[in-house]
């Protein structure tokens, strides 16, 4: 075979402008490889993690595969962390309609995550146990990353452009003014621990209970204003890929986001996770449970994630992907998803359940059976109300608009908003 014939068989290179144009037109882009590593050391043994890479949007169809990575940092025992690890994913997936397209599935995911978190919390509290847990829950579907979190475990994104971005919000009373105001407005008291002599020590806590966090799953002995409603952020990576670092506060109490990312750049995910933990231990020793997951989302034509070039942070890159306030209601943007640039698809952090569920749930008012948007249980209409009914809404509101909530889930919603006390029913 001649050289001319060989050259004809070789695929011609695709210009960068063409690749960017394909993304703008939403043309099919080959799925990336997902590689991961995990490392950790136990001090109290209350950290748990979940790695599941064989999930399918359509059961049995490998072309619909997605992966789940999560960290659960328990406190006051391990029951809540274990229960959440075992049940949260199923509760999220059960809230997504069946037989919908991938795009529709991804659009439904943020609301399903809210439903899954609240349902998991409600069901665990019925057990009557008092432990609680943070939850940082990450779903990777192709180039799209969706992160939901309560508590102070964290997920950061390190992209090829050298910009490290925080995909979660820390729900620590000490650091989050908005959460402190919400808790006190709902009936909670925020203050430090008093010791003999009247001296206050330690971080800000919520009383009763003394919890440092404003959001968690579990914590039955604390007021309902400690809510399980997660901050959710969804982004789409460029075809250059990126690295996620998901870790419990044993890492973040020691390392900044930038140092954690820089400490493991250019290394395989498995080794990277070990080095992040090692760096945290080197800084202050083992003071808390320390767990780290590193997830590399790699272009299919690269065997490993390419090292991020060292460059100084500048305002231009910040404009491409800047940190938003927790209560941002931006649902979609038209940012360009080019090499090294991240497209933000969704971000919402409100603790108000009605704001998170929206009003576009499928609903047939002629039907005699209604499905609760949270517990997913079918019930006759006399046993519950929509979120728009009741004395807390204006007369102009339509009681059968929006998602339907059964009586128990409606009581849960009202309690989280400080409208009435709520105590879970303990089952034997």
CATH number reported for the structural domain that contains residue 251 in this entry: 3.60.40.10
- When pLDDT is cut at 50, 70 and 90, the band that residue 377 belongs to is confident
Run of H or E residues at 217:
strand 217-218
Q: Which of 336, 351, 366 is the last residue of a domain?
A: 351
Does some domain include residue 198? no
Grouping H, G, I as helix, E, B as strand and the rest as coil, residue 189 is strand
pTM (global) more than 0.85: no
288 and 378 part of one domain: no
399 and 307 in one domain?
Answer: no
Structure tokens at 426: 């303990």
Token pair of 143, please?
Answer: 């180039």
Q: Which of 200, 43, 217 is nearest to 130 (CA)?
A: 217
Q: Once rounded to an integer, what is the mean pLDDT over residues 248-263? A: 95
Q: Among 107, 168, 109, 111, which Cα is nearest to 136's?
A: 168
Same domain, 402 and 259: no
Res. 417: pLDDT tops 80: yes
Domain assignment present for 74: yes
Does residue 254 share a domain with residue 385?
A: no
Q: Which domain holds residue 365?
A: 358-416
DSSP string covering 43-107: SSS-EEEEEEEEEESSTT-GGGEEEEEEEEEEESSSHHHHHHHHHHHHHHHTTSPSS--HHHHHH
Q: What angle do CA 305, 309, 311 make, to 5 degrees?
A: 145
Claim to verify: residue 264 and residue 410 sit in the same structural domain:
no
Question: In the listed set 304, 333, 351, which residue is the last one of a domain according to the structure?
Answer: 351
Residue 91 lies in a domain: yes
- Summarised one tens digit per residue, pLDDT across range 307-320 is 655 544 444 444 44
154 CB neighbour count, 10 Å cutoff: 24
pLDDT tens string 64-120: 999 999 999 999 999 999 999 999 999 999 999 989 999 999 999 999 999 999 999
One domain, residues 110 and 233: yes
70 and 160 share one domain: yes
């Amino acid at each position: 075979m001649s050289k001319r014939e060989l050259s004809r068989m070789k695929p011609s290179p695709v210009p960068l402008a063409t690749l960017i144009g394909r993304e703008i037109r939403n043309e099919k882009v080959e799925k990336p490889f997902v590689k991961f590593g995990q490392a950790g050391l136990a001090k109290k043994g209350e950290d748990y993690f979940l790695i599941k890479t064989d999930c399918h949007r359509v059961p049995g169809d490998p072309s619909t595969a997605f992966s789940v990575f999560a960290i659960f940092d328990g406190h006051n025992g391990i029951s809540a962390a274990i229960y959440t690890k075992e049940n949260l994913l199923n509760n999220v997936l059960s809230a997504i309609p069946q037989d919908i397209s991938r795009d529709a599935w991804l659009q439904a995911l943020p609301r399903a995550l809210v439903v899954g978190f609240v349902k998991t919390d409600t069901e665990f509290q019925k057990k009557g146990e008092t432990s609680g847990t943070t939850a940082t829950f990450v779903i990777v579907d192709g180039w799209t990353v969706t992160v939901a979190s309560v508590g102070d475990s964290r997920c950061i994104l390190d992209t090829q452009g050298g910009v490290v971005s925080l995909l979660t919000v820390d729900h620590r009373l000490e650091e989050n003014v908005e959460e402190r105001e919400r808790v006190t407005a709902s009936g909670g008291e925020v203050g430090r621990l008093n010791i003999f002599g009247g001296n206050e020590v330690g971080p800000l806590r919520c009383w009763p209970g003394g919890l440092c966090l404003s959001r968690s799953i579990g914590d039955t002995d604390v007021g309902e204003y400690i809510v399980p409603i997660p901050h959710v952020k969804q982004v789409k990576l460029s075809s250059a890929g990126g690295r996620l670092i998901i870790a419990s506060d044993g890492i973040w109490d020691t390392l900044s986001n930038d140092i954690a990312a820089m400490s493991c750049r250019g290394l395989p995910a498995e080794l990277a996770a070990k080095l992040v933990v090692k760096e945290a231990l080197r800084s202050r020793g083992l003071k808390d449970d320390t767990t780290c997951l590193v997830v590399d989302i790699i272009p299919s034509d690269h065997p490993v994630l390419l090292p991020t070039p060292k460059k100084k942070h500048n305002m231009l890159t910040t404009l491409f992907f800047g940190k938003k306030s927790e209560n941002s209601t931006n649902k979609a943007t038209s940012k360009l998803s080019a090499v090294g640039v991240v497209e933000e698809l969704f971000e919402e952090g409100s603790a108000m359940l009605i704001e998170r569920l929206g009003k576009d749930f499928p609903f047939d008012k002629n039907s005699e059976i209604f499905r609760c948007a949270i517990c997913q249980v079918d019930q006759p209409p006399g046993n519950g109300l929509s979120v728009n009914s009741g004395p807390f809404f204006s007369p102009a509101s339509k009681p059968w608009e929006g998602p339907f909530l059964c009586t128990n889930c409606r009581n849960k919603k009202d309690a989280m908003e400080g409208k009435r006390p709520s105590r879970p029913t303990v089952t034997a």
